[in-house]
Structure 1
Amino acid sequence: MLTGEAGESRVALAGLDAVALKPAECDVRRALDLPLDTVTVDYEGREHVPDRETLATLAAEKRVRLTTPVRADGYDPLGDGELLAEIPDEVGRVVVAGHPAYLTDEERGRPVAPRLGAAREAAPDAWVGTEGVERVALAAGGPQYELLSRSTERDVRALRAAGFDGEVLVYAPTVLTDDEDAVLDAVGGYAARRRPVARALPDDADTDAAATGRAREVLSKAVRDYALVGAPETVGERVAALKEAGVDRVVGYPARGVADFSE
């Protein structure tokens, strides 16, 4: 493992508190080799949910949370909840509305608010994903799990000023390098899908390292708004700023692959 001058790992220098892994991209047991105690497992469709044995293996050494979309069959607290019984007792949950890309038309049409409320009653320690349902998530209570955006620091400061004293966590795609081409290859497309960025980009522009001119200028700024990118120390400064604003923990998704966090 590569370390900084004081012997700290790259992830330690970046100040991350947890790692988020996508089971369609990697064997989530690779988290056992990472220097982070907390692991969240994203939902990318029912066919990619790790089995009970895999989750239990992870939970024997790490604090583990599984993302469970409340509109999805298998995790619906007001309908088909058969997959909930497959989650080991030692594995916590992240309850979310569910990304439309991973839901059927029927699942997408299910009301979110009553399902988030029911999921929180069943799992009161669950993190509550706020993406697209911010007010509903806040009403449901519990730790608020935010997606990093250009307004995160301002929004969290306002939340704290209004008296919210619950836990706030932030999820961010993370790229631990200052190589601009590598950054754009990893998260340029992700940033380009944010509405303000999509509006600012020229039509039919490349959104990876091939981007040039105006498109590259827009993307170079946008990836720093919507992701944590740069040398580990640079990312660490951004994480520190988020925590100064009132964020409790930052969860990084290794957008270049798990090896980026294990070097």
Structure 2
Amino acid sequence: MVRQNILITGASSGLGKGMAIEFAKMGRNLALCARRIERLEELKSELLALNPNIQVLIKPLDVNNHEQVFSVFNEFKEELGTLDRVIVNAGMGKGASIGTGYFHANKQTAETNFIAAIAQCEAAMEIFRAQNSGHLVNISSISAVRGFRRAMTVYAATKAALTSLSEGIRIDVMNTPIQITCIHPGFIRSEINDKVEKVPFIVDTETGCKAMVSAIEKEKANAFVPSYPWAILHWFLRVAPLSLIRKMS
């Protein structure tokens, strides 16, 4: 099945932008939203230059404005006729070790990565249930499989929660035309980690986004990307001793 009309949140930069480029190459219509409308306008021009035969709709959206999430999703649906796939991608990685005075940053990450993700899932699933079709894609992380320290503590916890949320929704709509996919990217270079120098197995944004889009198209329940090494390494991370996990973060 071809999912022609695709909505992506957090699309103005990083993985969201990278996925939009890959889908544009495939001839898909795109509904793109993010806080920075000027970046979306630049991206729209880039995508239409890449493929003038597609539709590219853009709207400003702060996913922490939950009412706006519902209105923007429904506006896109009305303008395109249907939404075939929604990719919940918006997120952030602020934070620090618990108890070190950065509650505000940790709270902001928790609200953006999980509470706002619930709003996006709710808005998407209302549309999909009414259509009796659709593909919900949640962008989690390899960090969802374990706890991590420092700036990763709350981030990893939100991604574990998002993975669990995806599974719960999947169970709820089993044996229906609605599909649920949870993508767990490994280390992919983007704005969220561009200041981190030493990262094992990191790949550039284009390579990572191609792997993500390929996995999304397969519509499996869970995917760890790029498949090398994460399809195997995530099993090792689940049982690795805490002393090793500590060295990784």
Q: Which has the higher Rg, Structure 1 or Structure 2? A: 1
TM over 0.5: no
With the length of structure 2 as denominator, give the TM-score of the two structures: 0.38
Q: Which has the higher helix share?
A: 2
With the length of structure 1 as denominator, give the TM-score of the two structures: 0.36
Whose relative contact order is higher, 1 or 2, with alpha carbons under 8 Å and at least 6 apart? 1
